[in-house]
Amino acid sequence: MTSTPRNRPAKRATILDVAAAAGVSRQTVTRAMNEMPGIRQATRERVQELARELGYTPSRFAKGLVQGAHTSVGLAIPGLTNPYFPAFASSVVEMATQRAWNVVMDDFGHGSGSALDAVARLAPQVDAVIGYLGPDAEEAQAMLGRRPVVVLDEPAGLTAGGISFDYPYAARLALDRLLAVGSGRIAYMDSVTEEGSLTARGAAVAGVASDLGIDLTVFRSEDSAHASREAVESLLSRHAGLDGLLVFNDLMAAGALKALAGSGRGVPDDCAVIGMDGIPLGELVTPELTTLSLNLRDVGRTAVDLLDGLLSGAVVAGSAEADLRLRHELVIRQSA
């Protein structure tokens, strides 16, 4: 067995190995690898060739240590299952890429626990975190110390920055629409929370409904199309006269559409339906979903811009400028 000495390198080759092999100093290797001036073309090529043969890859740690490295941001989201989150993630990745940041993703949707676990995993790897952290946001900020956390769907509070949504405004838009298309017996389906209380969206909808003199039926479902479908089926058996439905998000609204169709009700004629989020899925279901739409690219851009400001010092953590609020837009399609 006299084959190549290092088919499966036990230890990674270092710059010194390459330097030794080439019979030059390590600086020369650096110059060759990084396309720096002050080196003869022939030397450069010889070194590069040797580096390839040895399977040499500069250590990102050593490099980062000495150079101060590119910023890397952690993205913490509660699962990629609801299309909303990938859409958001996509825009964050896009914006981050433009700045030559890299994004480390952690999805705490599956068994992997809470938002806090995700942040704990991310903490040693990143310079900042953007995420849907819910009530864990402040503890996440504590975990990151001075490194900024930008929370979504939550006011900044003790975190460096926050982007929240104007739910009362959105609720008003939706409820007005439902009224306008003639709905009289309106229900709102909220997502379940750990504490059993209403979500921020739910609270806003309930508040506006009361202002409008609407006798709102509120019920809950897990955040999935399947669960939502069952919840609506069950609701329908109790409230047969339901003729207007506002739903926590579009994915759940899609499930609701299924339930309504299954019960023989026409949408929007027998019951109007409005979702929330504005994800592309809404255009693929039948009937197409009227929804409170968020421009997810804007949300992603806003988050990254805010983080950029925080990182550069242009925006002060916890200041009013760091606590943004975005609005939904009512996109009218077929379901209401």
Name the one residue in this structure whose structure tokens are 């036990």. Answer: 10
Specify the DSSP class assigned to residue 123.
G
- Which of DNA, a copy of itself, none interacts with 14 (beta carbon under 5 to 8 A by kind)? DNA
- Nearer CB in complex with a copy of itself: 27/90: 90
Helices (H), the chain: 15-22, 26-33, 41-54, 60-67, 84-98, 115-122, 137-144, 167-180, 200-211, 225-238, 250-262, 296-312
Q: Which CB, 27 or 112, lies closer to DNA?
A: 27
Give the residue with the Cβ less far from a copy of itself, 117 or 166: 117
Q: Is the peptide bond before 287 cis (omega within 30 degrees of 0)?
A: yes
**Which one of the spans 22-30, 86-94, 193-201, 207-215 is the region binding DNA (CB under 7 A)?**
22-30
Using DSSP, state whether 324 is helix, strand or coil: strand
Q: Taking CB within 5 to 8 Å according to partner kind, which of DNA, a copy of itself, none is near residue 264?
A: none
Answer yes or no whether residue 48 interacts with DNA by CB under 7 A: no
CB neighbours of residue 146 within 10 Å: 7
**Which residues lie near a copy of itself (CB under 8 A)?**
8-9, 52, 55-65, 69, 72, 75, 79-81, 83, 85-87, 89-90, 93-94, 97-98, 100, 102-107, 109-112, 121-122, 124-125, 144-147, 225, 254-255, 258, 261, 280-281, 283-286, 313
User: Binds 182, which of DNA, a copy of itself, none (CB < 5 to 8 A, cut-off by type)?
Assistant: none
Token reading at 235: 């609701």
How do 244-247 and 217-221 pair as beta strands?
unpaired
Residue 27 binds to DNA (criterion: CB under 7 A):
yes
> Rounded to whole angstroms, how far apart are CA atoms 21 and 50?
7
Regarding 66 and contact with DNA (CB under 7 A), the answer is yes
DSSP H or E run through 273: strand 272-277
Which span sits near DNA by CB under 7 A: 31-39, 132-140, 267-275, 316-324?
A: 31-39
**Among 37, 111, 145, 213, which residue sits at the site for DNA (rule: CB under 7 A)?**
37
d(CA 2, CA 162): 62
Do residues 28 and 45 lie in contact, with contact meaning Cβ atoms separated by under 8 Å? no
> For a copy of itself, which is the closer residue by CB, 63 or 239?
63
Q: Which residues contact 279 (CB under 8 A, 6 or more apart)?
A: 83, 84, 87, 250, 251, 296
Question: In the complex, what is the shortest distance from the CB of residue 210 to a copy of itself, in angstroms, rounded to a whole number?
Answer: 32
Cβ 55 to DNA shortest distance, Å: 11
Q: Is 58 in the site for DNA (CB under 7 A)?
A: yes
Contact between 197 and DNA per CB under 7 A: no
Rule CB under 7 A: say whether 67 interacts with DNA.
yes
Could you tell me which of 288, 178, 195 has the C-alpha nearest to residue 242?
178
Positions in the binding site for DNA (CB under 7 A): 11-12, 14-16, 23-31, 33-34, 36-40, 43, 56-59, 62-63, 65-67
